[in-house]
Amino acid sequence: CVEMENKKRLTRAFGIWGNTDKKKFWDFLDDILIWAKNQNLEPFITTRIRDNLPKSFKKKVKIINSANDFKKIDFLLTLGGDGTILSAARAIGNRNTPILGVHVGELGFLAEVTLDNMFERLNIVAKGDFSIQNRMVLEAKVANGKKTKKFYALNDFVIDRGKSQRLITMDLFANDHFVAKYKSDGLIFATPTGSTAYSLSSGGPIVMPKLKAIVVTPLSPHTLTLRPIVFPDGQTLEIKFVDDDQVVFAVDGQISEYLDPQSKVIIKKSPFEIKMITFNDSNYFQTLRIKMGWGKRG
């Protein structure tokens, strides 16, 4: 697959996806709409934004009423933290709409743009002078009782003990080969994008986003011999539960449900990727240094 695309694009419309709980989002919304008018771009907003608009709002904007409306826009502008980007990515799914993330909040690692340089970057995007980085997505097929569901994660899937105080025991298989028996608080299955999230805080490795791999990181394993492991993206991972207790399955830290001990979880690379807008002067290692304190002492 193509990991970076650098073609010029004609931009006619874009969507706005924001964390409506943040005051700064509302502070900048009007300015974004004015910018769009000056650029002759058609803005779309989500139904959540529409439902929370102040009564004084008089501008006419189009609405993203369904997931298929993402096909009508050339990119989606997200304003919030990493969680805002993750929720937008799941909504877009396989529709190939690029995401431009603007950091509005505390620690935002996924967003390349800040409020200070937002309009400078938006001007570049409007001219089509940007690149696309394809981000790997994980797919999980979960058979829980009589129901089977599919989930997609840009960051990670996590299986943990939930409310139980006991360690959980899981058998991990890769392409039908037994890997190990994990007795721990849980397991994290992360994409390269998600390697700098929960997996990193649990001792997992940093994996550059352009790589295609699955990182499996145990949560507080009972033995020192169980360390994080990186699988190639062609591997299909299956998790079988040994104990009789329920466990919790979480998607990007935002969706969760309890699984019965007889449940089956199969995780593999998704057939689609998420497109993230990036720029010629973007520097992944600089982002690590600034936002993660990478390489700093004390």
| Residues belonging to the active site | 82
Rounded Cα–Cα distance for residues 137 and 125 (Å):
24
- d(CA 242, CA 127) in angstroms, rounded, equals 55
For 240, the enclosing helix (H) or strand (E) is strand 237-241
Is-contact 137 154, C-beta < 8 A?
Answer: yes
H helices of 170-219, in order, are: 198-201
Distances (CA, A) of 192 to 25, 204, 212, 224, 261: 28, 11, 7, 24, 29
Tokens representing 285 are 């290692």
Give the orientation angle of helix 118-126 with respect to helix 23-38, to 10 degrees: 40
How remote is the C-alpha of 244 from its chain's centroid? 31
Instruction: Confirm if 76 and 97 have CB atoms less than 8 A apart.
Output: yes
Instruction: Kindly list the distances between the CA atom of residue 5 and the CA atoms of 105, 128, 147, in Å, as whole numbers in the listed order.
Output: 29, 12, 39
Q: Which residue blocks in 156-228 are alpha helix, DSSP H?
A: 198-201
